[in-house]
């Protein structure tokens, strides 16, 4: 019996050991699959501008403290919480350890490191002042992120209110109005035009809601396809700049981005033709791209930047005069920085004024839409005597 018990105990221990090994193998396989998925994703990982600004600021601080570049990247790799970006930093550090330059290493990840960052790193390596140039890049990124956050925060409230209004209108049309329609059907008289229109619209939505959804998606998909074409993109940019309420703000943001990017690159020693290429790519605006192409042709023929700006209606007269003054004093980058600071302040003031203007406009919008629906549905009740006359 003792022998049997001992054998049973040994068999149970073996089973438990096999079970633990099996679970360990499954966990290892899952971890390996997850790591492979992250490795694949990191090749095309798009790093948010805010994260890139933090990375650039931290890297410049470590370099200014005297740490070698590889050691700086190792420290940043250990502390980042973004697993995909951690793999990107690891690969960049591995390339540098293998003898490649920093600019060549980050160029392999164009979605994580934009053209501006790569060009500034090249300029820093050429001049031997990589840390100082990264400080300027970090300041540029932080300014861009700050301005973007302010615009997004100003847009959040009206988008939320409009979305709530649309949801409320759909609830009224699909669920509430049919109840009134059934009640009005017993009157047996012709309903007022607004009430009849809402009832017909409610019946249409209830019967063809899927067609409305498909139509909306089709318009969204078709609009996206059109905007992705050169002609559609040009049409979109021209419309945005001329838009009645937000066009002025979009115009100022484009001017601020143009001036700050130009000033940062020129101050860091990037050649002017290369600067114009980067500015055009970073602007994401057709008007700026056309202007940069025209400026590049004019400058290569011995002309000045201010001469092109003076002939382009996209740039305001104040900007043209300040750039011309900067060319006269040899301080174009300083003037561009001042212009960018001015338009940043203008953008903040415009956002504040739009926020204060949008609130009452949204209240009026909600009052007209919801109040109009309520009034249209209660109109037959207010005219009950005339409508109910059909029953007599």
pLDDT in tens, 181-213: 888 777 666 788 888 888 888 888 888 888 888
State the total domains in the chain. Answer: 2
In a domain, 121, yes or no: no
In a domain, 373, yes or no: yes
Between CA 84 and CA 106 the distance in angstroms is: 14
Domain final residue pick, 80, 113, 146: 113
Are 107 and 118 a contacting pair, CB within 8 Å?
Answer: yes
In a domain, 20, yes or no: no
Would residue 190 be called left, alpha or beta, if left means φ above 0 and alpha means ψ between -120 and 50 degrees?
Answer: beta
The pLDDT of residue 387 is: 46
pLDDT in tens, 311-370: 888 999 989 899 999 988 888 889 999 999 999 888 888 888 887 888 788 888 888 888
| CA–centroid distance for 69 within its chain | 31
In the structure encoding, which two tokens stand for residue 90, read together? Answer: 């690891």
pLDDT, averaged across the chain: 84
In a domain, 348, yes or no: yes
In the chain, pLDDT over 70 holds for what percent of residues? 89
The pLDDT of residue 58 is: 92
Between CA 27 and CA 30 the distance in angstroms is: 5
Are 377 and 195 a contacting pair, CB within 8 Å?
Answer: yes
Considering the domain architecture, whether residues 99 and 160 belong to the same structural domain is answered as no
Between CA 338 and CA 220 the distance in angstroms is: 40
Does position 297 have pLDDT exceeding 90, yes or no? Answer: yes
In a domain, 31, yes or no: no
Considering the domain architecture, whether residues 88 and 149 belong to the same structural domain is answered as no
Q: Tell me which residue range forms the domain holding 263.
A: 136-392
Considering the domain architecture, whether residues 272 and 374 belong to the same structural domain is answered as yes
The pLDDT of residue 14 is: 57
- Please choose, from the candidates 137, 142, 99, the residue with its C-alpha nearest in 3D space to the C-alpha of residue 121: 137
For 366, phi then psi, to 5°, come to -65, -40
Considering the domain architecture, whether residues 356 and 254 belong to the same structural domain is answered as yes
Considering the domain architecture, whether residues 71 and 151 belong to the same structural domain is answered as no
Considering the domain architecture, whether residues 329 and 187 belong to the same structural domain is answered as yes
Between CA 143 and CA 56 the distance in angstroms is: 13
Considering the domain architecture, whether residues 97 and 239 belong to the same structural domain is answered as no
In the structure encoding, which two tokens stand for residue 329, read together? Answer: 């004093």
The pLDDT of residue 168 is: 84
Considering the domain architecture, whether residues 98 and 141 belong to the same structural domain is answered as no
Domain final residue pick, 113, 146, 164: 113
The pLDDT of residue 164 is: 85
pLDDT in tens, 11-42: 555 555 555 666 667 666 666 667 777 777 77
Give the mean pLDDT of 160-188. Answer: 82
Give the mean pLDDT of 290-302. Answer: 91
Residues near 58 by beta carbon (within 8 Å), at least 6 away in sequence: 76
- List, as own/partner pairs, every contact residues 381-384 make where C-beta atoms lie below 8 angstroms and the sequence separation is at least 24, other chains included: 383/192
In a domain, 375, yes or no: yes
The pLDDT of residue 360 is: 85
In the chain, pLDDT over 90 holds for what percent of residues? 21
Residue 391 banded pLDDT, cuts 50, 70, 90: very low
Considering the domain architecture, whether residues 84 and 144 belong to the same structural domain is answered as no
Between CA 96 and CA 70 the distance in angstroms is: 7
Between CA 88 and CA 108 the distance in angstroms is: 10
In a domain, 219, yes or no: yes
Domain final residue pick, 82, 98, 113: 113
In a domain, 224, yes or no: yes
Considering the domain architecture, whether residues 74 and 202 belong to the same structural domain is answered as no
* Single pTM value for the model: 0.76
The pLDDT of residue 367 is: 85
Are 315 and 255 a contacting pair, CB within 8 Å?
Answer: yes
Does position 218 have pLDDT exceeding 90, yes or no? Answer: yes
pLDDT in tens, 105-147: 999 898 889 888 888 888 888 878 888 889 988 888 888 888 8
Considering the domain architecture, whether residues 66 and 171 belong to the same structural domain is answered as no
Specify the CATH number for the domain of residue 339.
1.20.81.30
Considering the domain architecture, whether residues 59 and 203 belong to the same structural domain is answered as no
């Amino acid at each position: 019996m003792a022998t049997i018990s001992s054998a049973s105990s040994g068999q149970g221990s073996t089973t438990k050991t096999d079970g633990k090994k099996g679970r360990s193998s499954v966990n290892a396989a899952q971890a390996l699959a997850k790591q492979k998925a992250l490795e694949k994703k990191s090749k095309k990982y798009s790093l948010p501008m805010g994260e890139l600004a933090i990375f650039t600021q931290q890297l410049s601080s470590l370099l200014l403290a005297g740490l070698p570049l590889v050691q700086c990247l190792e420290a940043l790799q250990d502390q980042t919480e973004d697993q995909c970006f951690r793999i990107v930093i690891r690969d960049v550090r591995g390339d540098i350890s293998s003898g490649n330059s920093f600019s060549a290493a980050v160029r392999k990840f164009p979605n994580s490191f934009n053209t501006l960052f790569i060009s500034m790193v090249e300029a820093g390596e050429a001049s031997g002042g990589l840390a100082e140039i990264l400080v300027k890049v970090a300041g540029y990124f932080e300014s861009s992120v700050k301005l973007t956050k302010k615009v997004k925060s100003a847009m959040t409230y009206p988008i939320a209110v409009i979305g709530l209004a649309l949801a409320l209108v759909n609830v009224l049309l699909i669920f509430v109005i049919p109840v009134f329609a059934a009640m009005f059907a017993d009157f047996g008289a012709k309903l007022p035009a607004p009430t009849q229109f809402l009832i017909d619209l409610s019946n249409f939505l209830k019967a063809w809601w899927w067609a409305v959804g498909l139509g909306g998606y089709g318009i969204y998909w078709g609009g996206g396809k059109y905007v992705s074409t050169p002609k559609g993109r040009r049409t979109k940019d021209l419309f945005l700049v001329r838009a009645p309420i937000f066009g002025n703000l979009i115009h100022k943001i484009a001017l601020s981005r143009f001036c700050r990017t130009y000033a940062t690159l020129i101050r860091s020693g990037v050649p002017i033709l290369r600067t114009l290429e980067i500015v055009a790519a970073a602007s994401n605006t057709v008007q700026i791209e056309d202007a940069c192409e025209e400026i590049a042709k004019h400058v290569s023929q011995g002309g000045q930047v201010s001469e092109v700006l003076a002939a382009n209606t996209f740039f305001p007269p104040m900007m043209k005069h300040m750039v011309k003054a900067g060319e006269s004093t040899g301080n174009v980058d300083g003037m561009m920085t001042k212009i960018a600071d001015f338009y940043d302040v203008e953008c903040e003031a415009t956002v504040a004024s739009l926020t204060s203007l949008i609130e009452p406009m949204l209240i009026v919008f909600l009052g007209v839409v919801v109040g109009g629906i309520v009034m249209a549905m209660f109109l037959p009740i207010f005219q009950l005597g005339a409508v109910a006359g059909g029953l007599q």
